[in-house]
Amino acid sequence: MAQAQTVEKKQMRTPIESGCPDGMQYMHPLMVKNFGNWKYHDRPRPGVLHHVAYSGDEIWTVRVGTQRQLGPYEINLLCDIVDQYGEGHVRFTIRSNLEVMVSKWEKVGPLIQAFNDAGYPVGGTGNSVTMISHTQGWLHCDIPGTDASGVVKSLMDELYEEFVKEEMPNRVHITTSCCQINCGGQGDIAINVQHTKPPKINHDLVANVCERPSVVARCPVAAIRPAIVNGKPSLEVDEKKCICCGACYPPCPPMQINDPEHSKLAIWVGGKNSNARSKPMFQKLVAAGLPNNPPRWPEVAAVVKKILYTYKKDARDWERVGDWVERIGWPRFFELTGLPFTKFHIDNWRGARNSLNASAHIRF
């Protein structure tokens, strides 16, 4: 037996720990040639970037919206288009848009046409609503409160027009997250799961599945303690203390936090990663208690659209959602969007004092 194992091990291939591959070998030749020597850019039409190098070289980039999860059919379809109308080089943006680079303006029109003919939208540049940042959800995550791909698909169907046009005051980054860990990140508008009830514990499984001290340590409000339940070592939750964050669920799956009824969706606004104008900003809670309603989450879409179109109408050029709210103030935000303001909007976590209005600055 021991011998057989040795033989098997010998046959195992040792990995080549090559790490992150060099991008230069796959890059469009004009990008290699003009690396670090670009002069300026403009956007000749929505979905197209035009960069000019000091050498006089020009490159056009066509940005294409995708469903992020691609199979061989889509990959070959998109690659066929790039090989026929483009120049064989692509890249992906952080928001799952495909970028196709070409060296001639004349190639841009036929390239766009070919993508459109294949059912793929071109847009997502400048002051548009670009692709929604995408997590895994029910398709692959082990702790999801909702789906990701379905929420993104439903919303992008509704916001298609805003993807292919550049008619927003500034760029709009929408994010989705299937639990409160918020893998989707900060967004101008963020749609995140918000649990509203403490975890339901399967006491028969805890002792075998969970490393109890690390679960106790994981709780941000020290609401979990070891306990013997039905004669078995388990954990119990002080439900008065519990903030329903779900942090105990990943290390201890028998502490089920997801609930078809009580896992709700919340909407946050004003997150911004860029340093432009203001420093980077966190997103703030504006709406909660929305039902987790697949397959198209209409209640969520309605709130997102209400916020988005209020922003579109009221914000000034170059104001991101967060910049806009800083100008008009939160009372006006709630007034214009018609969203209710509640005691839950007032922060009570660490540093919450900094979010209170300690001044006589009031807009009337």
Partner 1 sequence: MSDARTPPKDPTRHSTYVPKEKKSTKAFHPTPMLDQLESGPWPSFVTGLKRLAHDNNMMVDLLGQLEHSYKTRLGYWKGGTVSVFGYGGGIIPRFSEVAAMFPESKEFHTLRVQPPAGNHYTTKLLRQLSNSWNKWGSGLIAFHGQTGNIMFIGSTSENTQHFFDEINEYGFDLGGAGPCVRTAMSCVGAARCEQSCTNEHRIHRTLVNNFIDDMHRPALPYKFKFKVSGCPNDCMNSIQRADFAVIGTWRDDMQVDQQGVKEYVKGHGRKYTIDNVIARCPTKALSLNDDDTLDVDNKSCVRCMHCINVMTKALKPGKDHGITLLIGGKRTLKIGDTMGTVIVPFMKMETDEDYEKLRELAATVIDFWAENGLEHERCGEMIERIGLANFLEGIGVEVDPNMIAHPRTSSYVRMDDWDQEAQKWIDRKNQQAA
Is residue 12 a contact point for partner 1 (CB under 8 A)?
Answer: yes
From the list 144-152, 197-205, 233-241, 298-306, the region that binds partner 1 by CB under 8 A is 144-152
From the list 36-44, 225-233, 298-306, 336-344, the region that binds partner 1 by CB under 8 A is 36-44
Query: And the tokens for 117?
Result: 């003919």
Of 206, 195, 284, the residue nearest 251 (C-alpha): 206
Is residue 14 a contact point for partner 1 (CB under 8 A)?
Answer: yes
The answer to whether the beta carbons of residues 236 and 182 sit under 8 Å apart is: no
Q: Which is nearer to partner 1, 247 or 303 (CB)?
A: 247
In whole angstroms, how close is the CB of 261 to partner 1 at the nearest point?
A: 8
Q: Which is nearer to partner 1, 166 or 337 (CB)?
A: 166
Is residue 318 a contact point for partner 1 (CB under 8 A)?
Answer: yes
Binding track over 319-348 against partner 1, x by CB under 8 A = ------------------------------
Instruction: Please tell me the distance from the alpha carbon of residue 31 to that of residue 49, in angstroms, as a whole number.
Output: 14
| C-alpha 4, offset from chain centre | 48
Q: Which is nearer to partner 1, 164 or 244 (CB)?
A: 164
Is residue 130 a contact point for partner 1 (CB under 8 A)?
Answer: no
Q: Which is nearer to partner 1, 56 or 231 (CB)?
A: 56
Neighbour count for residue 272 (Cβ, 10 Å): 23
From the list 141-149, 200-208, 227-235, 298-306, the region that binds partner 1 by CB under 8 A is 141-149
Residue among 70, 227, 328, 336 that touches partner 1 (CB under 8 A): 70
Is residue 296 a contact point for partner 1 (CB under 8 A)?
Answer: yes
Of 224, 136, 216, 131, the residue nearest 179 (C-alpha): 136
Instruction: Please tell me the distance from the alpha carbon of residue 14 to that of residue 8, in angstroms, as a whole number.
Output: 13
Instruction: Please tell me the distance from the alpha carbon of residue 186 to that of residue 164, in angstroms, as a whole number.
Output: 23
| C-alpha 61, offset from chain centre | 23
Is residue 309 a contact point for partner 1 (CB under 8 A)?
Answer: no
Contacts of partner 1 in 185-224 (CB under 8 A)? 185-186, 214, 217-218, 220
| Residues paired with 190 in a beta bridge | 175, 268
Cα(first)–Cα(last) distance of the chain, in Å? 83
Is residue 228 a contact point for partner 1 (CB under 8 A)?
Answer: no
Query: And the tokens for 48?
Result: 């197209």
Is residue 234 a contact point for partner 1 (CB under 8 A)?
Answer: no
Q: Which is nearer to partner 1, 154 or 337 (CB)?
A: 154
Cis ω before 29 (30° cut-off from 0): no
Nearest-5° Cα angle at 28, 81 to 77:
15
Is residue 56 a contact point for partner 1 (CB under 8 A)?
Answer: no
Instruction: Please tell me the distance from the alpha carbon of residue 272 to that of residue 284, in angstroms, as a whole number.
Output: 11
Is residue 63 a contact point for partner 1 (CB under 8 A)?
Answer: no
From the list 69-77, 232-240, 307-315, 335-343, the region that binds partner 1 by CB under 8 A is 69-77
Is residue 68 a contact point for partner 1 (CB under 8 A)?
Answer: yes
Is residue 79 a contact point for partner 1 (CB under 8 A)?
Answer: yes
Is residue 29 a contact point for partner 1 (CB under 8 A)?
Answer: no
Instruction: Please tell me the distance from the alpha carbon of residue 270 to that of residue 321, in angstroms, as a whole number.
Output: 5
Residue among 44, 196, 204, 282 that touches partner 1 (CB under 8 A): 282
Neighbour count for residue 293 (Cβ, 10 Å): 13
Q: Which is nearer to partner 1, 181 or 229 (CB)?
A: 181
Query: Strand 255-256 and strand 98-102: pairing?
Result: unpaired
